[in-house]
Amino acid sequence: MARIGRGHPNRPIVVRQPRNHDAHPSLPAFETAAEFPALDIFTPGITVPLGAFETVAEFPALVVRKDVRLALPIFETSAEFPALDIFTPILAGELITGDFQIEWGRLLLGGHGNVYQILEPGVEGWDDLPELDSGNAPRSARHGSWSGRDYAQERTVSATIAIDGPRDSTAWVLAMRNLRRALGVSEDGSEQTLTIRTLGETLLARAKAQARVMPAGLYGQRWTAVSVRWVCPDPRRYDLQQQSVTVDAGGADDCTNDGDVSTSPRIKVFGPVANPVITNTSLGRILRFVVNVEEGQLLDIDTNAGTVTINGEDAMDTLSSLSVPVEEWVLGAGANTISYNVSSGGSAGIELQFRSSYL
């Protein structure tokens, strides 16, 4: 059947709830929940009051009967002290037992039964006068020179040492190595003590090993002659015994240098003291310091090294311009009268430490 005109299908009918434009929905309050972890809080310096520390000692009751003698045991206590480590300084010359021996560091050369023997001609350069640096100045208008002060150069000492005695190869090698080690090169340039006893006279000097000639031709016979040479930057030789002289403030005392050339003392000034003045009246040489040395402090003057310190700190700037250079304050050969004066304090005095010296 034909359709007449354009037909439209009917729209479907949807049933909805009626709209209410005046409605006000009610919502609950907005909430969030957050839980923090437990906190452990530590505060420094907290004080915890503790009760007094108490101990209780209860003695048993004593029952004493008449005419009964009580016998009590001896009261004893036990105390154990820890082991003591005692270090004693090595004294120069303590290994030497007779004439014509050499002590170099801790090695003894020469002497009956020693594996190290000193060969002829013995020690050379020990009693010689070293070469001199002349202080003479030429005269400009006449012959000759103006006389000046001479200074000794460093001292050179030599000897020939035989390694003789051990026939066992192990003992021979050990003796050879010990000698090489003793006459090796110092790692830091430091000096060691060279002590030599001639005929009844024992003197020491500070030296460094300078040469070691060790021929190997007779090693097979367990024998060799080693030529050794030492150099002493300070040419003076010193007594083994160090002297100590104390001078009170406002007083004077004698320091006797039994040698034949001036020696350089070490001077210790003990505080409290203000402006100490130390004078060698025999030579007319003064050390004056503008400084307050407090109680417990030490003004240390090393005239050999030319240093001034207070408790280890440099204090050369406290030296007055009225003083001689520190290195020129010496004790001459023979007796020297030393005076000590201060502005205030100085009750502890000063101490001079020195050895008699020989050139």
Tens of pLDDT along 296-310?
A: 999 999 999 999 999
Q: Which of 251, 309, 316, 304 is nearest to 281 (CA)?
A: 251
Whether 200 and 289 share a structural domain: no
Whether 185 and 287 share a structural domain: no
CA distance 261 to 236: 8
Q: Is the pLDDT of residue 207 over 70?
A: yes
What is the domain count for the chain? 2
Whether 120 and 212 share a structural domain: yes
Whether 273 and 209 share a structural domain: no
Residue 228 located in a structural domain: yes
Per the CB < 8 A criterion, the answer to whether 348 and 306 are in contact is no
Whether 286 and 342 share a structural domain: yes
Residue 286 located in a structural domain: yes
Residue 178 located in a structural domain: yes
User: Cα separations (Å) of 131 from 125, 128, 150?
Assistant: 11, 9, 10
Whether 168 and 254 share a structural domain: no
CATH of the domain at 219: 2.40.30.200
Domain residues for the domain of 335 are 241-358
In this structure, of 39-53, 96-110, 318-332, 337-351, the range with the lowest mean pLDDT score is 39-53
Whether 172 and 105 share a structural domain: yes
User: Cα separations (Å) of 321 from 226, 274, 298, 316, 317?
Assistant: 52, 17, 21, 11, 10
Task: Among 238, 266, 286, give the residue marking a domain's end.
Answer: 238
Task: Among 217, 238, 259, give the residue marking a domain's end.
Answer: 238
Whether 195 and 322 share a structural domain: no
In this structure, of 29-43, 179-193, 271-285, 299-313, the range with the lowest mean pLDDT score is 29-43
Whether 222 and 115 share a structural domain: yes
Whether 202 and 169 share a structural domain: yes
pLDDT at position 73: 74
CA distance 169 to 147: 60
CA distance 291 to 248: 18
Whether 289 and 345 share a structural domain: yes
Q: Which residues are CB-neighbours of 307 under 8 A, at least 6 positions away?
A: 300, 301, 314, 316, 326
Omega before 121 within 30 of 0, i.e. cis:
yes
pLDDT at position 350: 97
Residue 125 located in a structural domain: yes
In this structure, of 78-87, 151-160, 199-208, the range with the lowest mean pLDDT score is 78-87
Task: Among 238, 268, 301, give the residue marking a domain's end.
Answer: 238
Residue 73 located in a structural domain: no
CATH of the domain at 341: 2.60.120.860
Q: Is the pLDDT of residue 5 over 60?
A: no
Per the CB < 8 A criterion, the answer to whether 342 and 276 are in contact is yes
Tens of pLDDT along 116-172?
A: 999 999 999 999 999 999 999 999 999 999 999 999 999 999 999 999 877 888 999
Tens of pLDDT along 36-53?
A: 566 555 444 445 555 665
Whether 116 and 214 share a structural domain: yes
Average pLDDT over residues 208-222: 93
Per the CB < 8 A criterion, the answer to whether 271 and 344 are in contact is no
Residue 255 located in a structural domain: yes
Residue 222 located in a structural domain: yes
